[in-house]
Copies of this chain bind each other. A is one copy, B any other.
Amino acid sequence: MKKILVLLLFLQTFFISVSVTKKSISAEDWLSSWNNEMKIKIVNYIDMVTDPKNPGFIPESERFAVFDNDGTLWAEQPTVEELFIIYYAKKMTEKNPSLKNKHPFSRINDFYSNGKFVIKDRRIFDELVGIVHEGMTNKEFQKTAEDFFRETKYPGLNVPLEKIVYQPQLELMDYLRKNGFKVYICSGGETDFMRVISEKYYGISKEQVIGSELVFEYNENTNIMVRRSKLYTDNNGRAKAENIYHRLGRPAVFAVGNVRSGGDIYMLRYSQASEYPSFQLLIDHDDEKREFLYTEADNISLKWAEKYNWNVVSMKKDWKQIFPK
C-alpha cells in the first residue's frame, strides 16, 4: 500500500514536472537566483504539497521547513560565531587592560595571521568561549552581539555581515513562507546569538530559532536571566533530529543543510520520517571563485544524499548569484 502511494507520488511529480511547473515558474519567479534544474525540483514539490487535490497535499499547519545556518544560510569560513568570541574577548581586554597579559587573553592575536582569521589552537579558543559567555545576562549578551554585527566585516570577503547571507536561500525562504510554510533555523550555532539577527537577516522570528543552547539561570529577585558557560544542548548531528521533535512535535518536511562535517545528516534524514512527502537539500561548497571550496574528510553527507535521494545543490552550478547585491 505504501509502495503504491510512493509510486503514485512519483508519477504525480513526473507529470507536474512536464506540465504544471512551467506555468508556476513563469507566473511569478520567486527563485530568480536559482538555475532551472534545481528550481524545477523545488517548485514541483511545493506545487504538489500545496494542491489539495494532490495525494501529496500537506495541510498548512503541518508545513515546517528547517534550515541549518552556518554554510547553509550564510558563509562559514570562518563561522560568524567564532568571530564573535574573539570580538568579545577583545572588548573585555579593552575594558580591563590587565587581562591582556593573562591566559587565555594573551593569545587573542594568535587568531589572526596575514589578515586571515584562523583557529590554530582549538583548546585556547574553547577556553575563551567559556569565559565570554559565563555570567552574562541575556540583555548584556544581546547588546554585545548587536554591537558586533554592526561593527564587524567578514574576513576574506571584506563585507558587512549582512552581505554574507546567500541570496538564493533568502528567495527560497520567502517562497516557502508564501506557500504557508513556517521556516525555522536548526543550527549548531548558539540560539541566542542567531536570534539577534534572525528576523533582520532572514525574516525568522526569535521563537523559530533552534540551536545549541547554554544553561540559563533565572533569579526572581533581580528578574534577570544569566547565561552559564555550560551547554544545555549541543544542536549537532543526532541532536538536531531530537531537538526538532522536542520543539515541533513532528519532523519538518523540508530540510536544508550543507556539506562540511556531517552535522546536518540526521536532520535531513529525519525529515523523511514524516507521514507527508518531504524534501531535502544539501548545499555543496564547490565554488572557489564566488564563495569557498571545501569538502568533508569522510564524504558522509554526500554518501547519505545519494543513499537517501536528497537533492544536492552545487553552488557553482545551481546558484546564479550567491550574495545579495
Is A133 on the interface with B (CB-CB < 8 A)? no
Contact B61 A249 (CB under 8 A): no
- Which size class do A's interface residues fall under? 35 or more
Q: Other CB < 8 Å A-B pairs besides A218-B270, A224-B273, 12 of them?
A: A61-B205, A64-B207, A138-B245, A195-B249, A207-B249, A213-B246, A216-B245, A218-B266, A220-B269, A225-B242, A225-B273, A232-B246
Q: Map CB proximity to B onto A266-292 as digits: 1 under 8 Å, 0 otherwise.
A: 100110110000000000000000000
Nearest Cβ in chain B — how far from A268, in angstroms? 10
Contact A206 B248 (CB under 8 A): yes
Q: In the assembled complex, which residues on chain B have CB atoms less than 8 Å from the CB atom of A173?
A: none
Is A96 on the interface with B (CB-CB < 8 A)? no
Is A158 on the interface with B (CB-CB < 8 A)? no
Specify which of B61, B182, B216, B242 is in contact with A246 (CB 8 Å cutoff).
B216
Which A positions have Cβ atoms within 8 angstroms of B?
61, 64, 138, 182, 191-192, 195, 199, 205-207, 209, 213, 216-218, 220, 223-225, 232, 238, 241-242, 245-250, 265-266, 269-270, 272-273
Nearest Cβ in chain B — how far from A55, in angstroms? 21
Q: With the chains together, A249 CA to B195 CA distance in Å?
A: 7
Q: In the assembled complex, which residues on chain B have CB atoms less than 8 Å from the CB atom of A216?
A: 242, 245-246
Q: In the assembled complex, which residues on chain B have CB atoms less than 8 Å from the CB atom of A238?
A: 218, 220
Contact B207 A248 (CB under 8 A): yes
Specify which of B61, B218, B269, B272 is in contact with A241 (CB 8 Å cutoff).
B218
Contact B270 A223 (CB under 8 A): yes
Q: In the assembled complex, which residues on chain B have CB atoms less than 8 Å from the CB atom of A224?
A: 273
Q: In the assembled complex, which residues on chain B have CB atoms less than 8 Å from the CB atom of A199?
A: 61
Nearest Cβ in chain B — how far from A20, in angstroms? 30
Q: In the assembled complex, which residues on chain B have CB atoms less than 8 Å from the CB atom of A245?
A: 138, 216, 218, 225
